[in-house]
Amino acid sequence: MAAPVAGPLSVPPARPDDPKAGAPKPEKRDLSEVREELDGLYHEAAVATDAYNAAEEEAKKQSDQIVRLANKIQKLQGKRDTLKDRAGAAARAQYRSGGVPPQAQLVLSDNPQEFLDGAQRVRQGQHATTNLIGELSTTEADLQLYAKDAGLYWLELEQHTKDQAKRKKKIEAKIEAAEKLEKKLEKEERARLLQMEQDAEIQSQTAWLDTGILNDIKGNASAQGKKAVAFASKQIGKPYVWGAEGPSSYDCSGLTSQAWAAAGRGIPRTSQEQWRQLPRIKVRDMRPGDLIIYHADASHVGMYVGNGAIVHAPRPGRNVTVAGAGSMPILGVVRPDK
């Protein structure tokens, strides 16, 4: 009997727990999903940055108030010490006179006219002493009030400092998560992701321009507006750093607030406060130097520089750059020098 011919061996697939199987390759995520997640992380970081900057601004105000009150307290303490010295001198003078009542001094006096002249001086002295005591009492009350106010400001400062620390952690966590996500991408994928980002901005800008908006925007920059635009334009190429106000790096509202400070006009530090406090104008009425606020939560701001463009600090990992004014959802426009 002939031996059976062996056919090709069919090797069973390796089990998942088989060491020979090797680690399964992770499924690649769709780049559009990655981009959406990155946008979300950077947006949350921007919102937290605005809150951090607001807390920092409040902390500065509290510090200034504490310094102002400390100076007042120091002056009042000097005044109180002077008043106490004068009051002590008056008391010692009365003690040296023996504390004899004026009526008794009149009976004992050999010269009534001399006594009357002296009595007038005594009344004047008593009146001055009464005023001195009143002034000393008022000064002591003011000191207590200022000390109480300083204590309240100090508590508020501590709270704002704690708020800053919490927001700092949140910002760093969001940026770290975004950076880790980007590092997982291949070089080619990162290039495609950047291209997707640019394509989306171009599409948004084109749609905005197609409305014919530039036909209506014809305003010329004011003298201060020109200075603000010049300052912002000189910062192009510098990196975005959250919480930064220059001179080597900026976040979005740090750039706009410093540009207008260079033009001689102070404005709020954050994009949300710039939107809340500065005069609003219609988009078609804007001119170079005006600030365009973006997103429904006013979490981003750029400076309009004319010809449908803005200068802005986009986000971590990007530099101050020129972009289309309509490349992001516009909330509204504010004019610092209106």
Q: What is the pLDDT of residue 3?
A: 42
What's the confidence (pLDDT) of residue 248? 96
> Which has the closest alpha carbon to 90: 114, 122, 42, 52?
122
Residues of the chain with pLDDT under 70: 1-29, 83, 87-88, 90-136
CATH code assigned to 217-334: 3.90.1720.10
Q: For the chain, how far is it from start to end, CA to CA, in angstroms?
A: 108
CB neighbours of residue 243 within 10 Å: 16
Ranges of CATH 1.10.287.1490 domains, the chain: 31-180
Q: From residue 88, how far is each of 62, 65, 92, 129, 136 by CA, in Å?
A: 38, 34, 6, 10, 12
Q: CATH 3.90.1720.10 occupies which residues in the chain?
A: 217-334
Q: Is 154 exposed, middle or buried (0-12, 13-18, 19+ CB in 10 A)?
A: middle
What pTM value is reported for the model? Answer: 0.66
Asked if 46 and 252 touch (Cβ cutoff 8 Å), the reply is yes
Number of continuous H segments (helices) and E segments (strands) in the chain: 7, 6
**Contact at 8 Å (CB) between 334 and 268?**
no
- Other beta carbons within 10 angstroms of residue 79's beta carbon come to 15
Token pair for 148? 């109480």
Q: Is 41 helix (H, G, I), strand (E, B) or coil?
A: helix
Distances (CA, A) of 186 to 29, 192, 315: 12, 10, 21
Question: 261's torsion region: left (phi>0), alpha (psi -120 to 50) or beta?
Answer: alpha
pLDDT tens for 204-246 read: 999 999 999 888 888 899 999 999 999 999 999 999 999 999 9
pLDDT value of position 155: 82
**What is the structure's pLDDT at 126?**
56
Note every long-range contact of 35-38, with CB atoms under 8 Å and residues 24 or more positions apart, other chains counting. 35/193, 35/196, 35/197, 37/181, 38/178, 38/181, 38/182, 38/193
Cα–Cα distance for residue pair 40/154, rounded to 1 Å: 36
pLDDT computed for residue 74 by the predictor: 78
Instruction: Give the pLDDT confidence of 137-150 residue by residue, as tens digits.
Output: 777 777 777 777 77
Say how many C-beta atoms besides its own lie within 10 A of residue 257's C-beta.
28
Q: Active-site positions?
A: 252, 300, 312
Which three-class secondary structure state does DSSP give residue 40? Answer: helix
Q: Which CATH number, 1.20.58.2050, 1.10.287.1490, 3.40.50.880, 3.40.50.300, labels domain 31-180? A: 1.10.287.1490
Rounded-to-integer distance, Cα 319 and Cα 250, Å: 9
pLDDT for the residue numbered 336: 97
pLDDT at position 256 is: 98
